[in-house]
Structures are given as C-alpha cells and as structure tokens.
Amino acid sequence: MASTDERRFEVLRAIVAEYVSNHEPVASKAIVDRHNLGVSSATIRNDMASLEEDGYITQPHTSAGRIPTDKGYRLFVDRLAEVKPLSVAERRAIHSFLAGAIDLDDVLRRSVRLLAQLTRQVAVVQYPTLTRSTVRHLELVKITPARVMLVLITDTGRVDQRMIELGDVITDDDVGRLRTMLNSTLAGHRLTEAAAKVSELLDESPSELRDAMTRLSTVLVESLVEHPEERLVLGGTANLTRNAADFPGSLRQILEALEEQVVVLKLLAAARVPGTVTVRIGEENEAEDLRSTSVVSVGYGSRDLLFGGMGVVGPTRMDYPGTIAAVRAVANYVGEILSGR
C-alpha cells in the first residue's frame, strides 16, 4: 500500500480500537489525542471521509463520530500483523485447568467454560467427529453370568458404554476370547472402517460363541456411528446479554439460532485444519439470525488429523486479536490432550 493508504489504515485501526473499548462513535479529536499518528486533526478528518466513502466506517447519526462497518472489521482482521499473545501466566492457567480433566466430556466442558471466560463471549466446542476417530481399545466386562458391558474407547478419548444381555450364561474365559477377537479385528481402524469389519467377527467366531458375538455385533454397530445429540457443548450465553446494545432487536433470534445444533455446526464447518483460525464477520455469516455477530472458529486435533471445531460467537465489536489468541491457544491444548501428547 502507498503511505496515504497505510495512514488511513492506521486511522481505521484507531477507530476499531476506540469503538471496541468504549462502544461510542469515534471522533477525529479522540484519534488525535490518544493515537500518535503524527498528522493534524484536519488530515485525520480527511482520512475518515475517505474511509467512509470506501465503506470501511459509517456515521450512525448526524453530528456523531464514526464506527467501523463489517467491511472495516474485515480489513482490520485481514491485516492483523500479529495476534496479541497470551501471557505466560494465562498459558500456564489454561494448561493447568485443562490438564486436570478426567475424561473427554470433562475436557470439552472445561474448554467451553475457559473460552467463555477468556473472551467474554459465547463459546462452543464440537465433540470429536466419530468418523475421523480410531478404535483404540474395546473392553468387555462381565456384569452378571449373562450380561456384559461393552466399552468402546477411541483415540480421541471418547468412551461409549453399552450393556448387553447375552441370553445365556457365559464363562470368564469366553469373555476373554470375545475381547481378544474384538480388538484383533477392530483396534486401530477408523470407526467407519470398523463398522464395515463387524461382519468379519461373525464369520470368524467359533460356533459356541456365535450367538454371543451376534448380540455384541448388533450393539457395536450402533456404537460406531454418530451420536448427533452429543455433538456440541455450548457455554457463556449470558455473555450476550452483557453486550445487548450490540444486538438491537436481534438478541432473541441469536439465542434461538444458537440452540439449533445444525446452525452452530455450520459455524464450525470452516474449521478444516487444526490451528487455522477462521473469522466470519456480520453479513459473512450464512445464518441470517447471526448476521449481527462475528464468529471466530478453529479446528482442533493432532498435527495431521482434525477431531472437531471450536470457537466463539459475539458482537462484531469484539477484541479480535485477543479473541483469536484465546481460541487458538485453547484449541492447541485440547488437541494435545486428546492426542495424548
């Protein structure tokens, strides 16, 4: 960019910073007084006029200062030279808080609570997508002489437990044989592949175990498919009311949209690569009821495997550098924990 364009971007950056901080339209005097741009008030006013003409800022009412438009926020986000780093204390606190989780459910609940607190926005985390998960281990626990518990454990830490009535008494030795067959056939395979290999279990089962394996296989197939009702964890919706003035006449619609899991899953759909942050601002959101919001989302997982997405939803008037840093940091830690690193 030419020097004039660079200066105008610095004016836009100042307007964004002032408006995010104070939620008041920004006048040229505030920029001159609080931002050392090294130019006169008249130059600032001329730059503001150019920015308004180009659609980056707007005047909400006569005799007021200016506020950023969605287009202005987009330029600001696209030109972020660096994301505001989290302090050592913040990073240590995130790691300590998440490392104390006892299982996958706890990891995700803690992640949502943490994101909502760090960003003061609505936080959402998607459960690891089962189709991308791998069977780590299958455990078979004898509960009664004719009942067992089947435990499916994935590489993402997901645990699915099912009680199975076998219809006949089974010995401890036979439970051990069934467990060995399950793991030798299915462990290490993606869940979709494992579901397809269940039929092999029946073909390879000795006759005396075929009835038990048939009952196990029926339940196992159900465990290997998606559980839509468990796909999301949402937290911090009360934070929207703190910024109610940012959503004139639309707060109720936003809350209703967030209750629709399909809508929220679409918000996270852009998160395809772990660690890559996506920012959707205002009208860029596909859901009409969320077009007064911004969505910052990121994928989490291992280096080459995406488990799911997470992010925050808040007003377009948000601290983008701080929010991006928080979302990225939490996603990195969750990915490390679930990858066993």
> Which class does domain 3-73 fall in?
mainly alpha
pLDDT at 235 over 80: yes
CATH number, domain 131-223: 3.30.390.10
Write the DSSP string, 45-104. Answer: HHHHHHHHHTTSEE-SSTT--BEE-HHHHHHHHHT-SS--PPPHHHHHHHHHHHHT--SH
DSSP strand E in the chain: where?
57-58, 67-68, 122-126, 135-144, 147-154, 159-165, 232-235, 277-281, 293-301, 306-315
Q: What is the pTM of this model?
A: 0.76
What would the pLDDT profile of 66-123 be if each residue is shown by its tens digit?
999 999 999 999 988 666 777 888 888 888 888 888 888 888 899 999 999 999 999 9
Distance CA 306, CA 155 (A): 12
Residue extent(s) of CATH 1.10.10.10 domains in the chain: 3-73
Residue extent(s) of CATH 3.30.390.10 domains in the chain: 131-223
Under CATH, what is the fold of the domain 88-129+228-339? Beta-Lactamase (3.30.450)
What would the pLDDT profile of 112-156 be if each residue is shown by its tens digit?
999 999 999 999 998 887 666 788 899 999 999 999 999 988 887
88 φ/ψ sector (left φ>0, alpha ψ -120 to 50, else beta): alpha
Bigger pLDDT: 199 vs 226? 199
Residue extent(s) of CATH 3.30.450.40 domains in the chain: 88-129+228-339
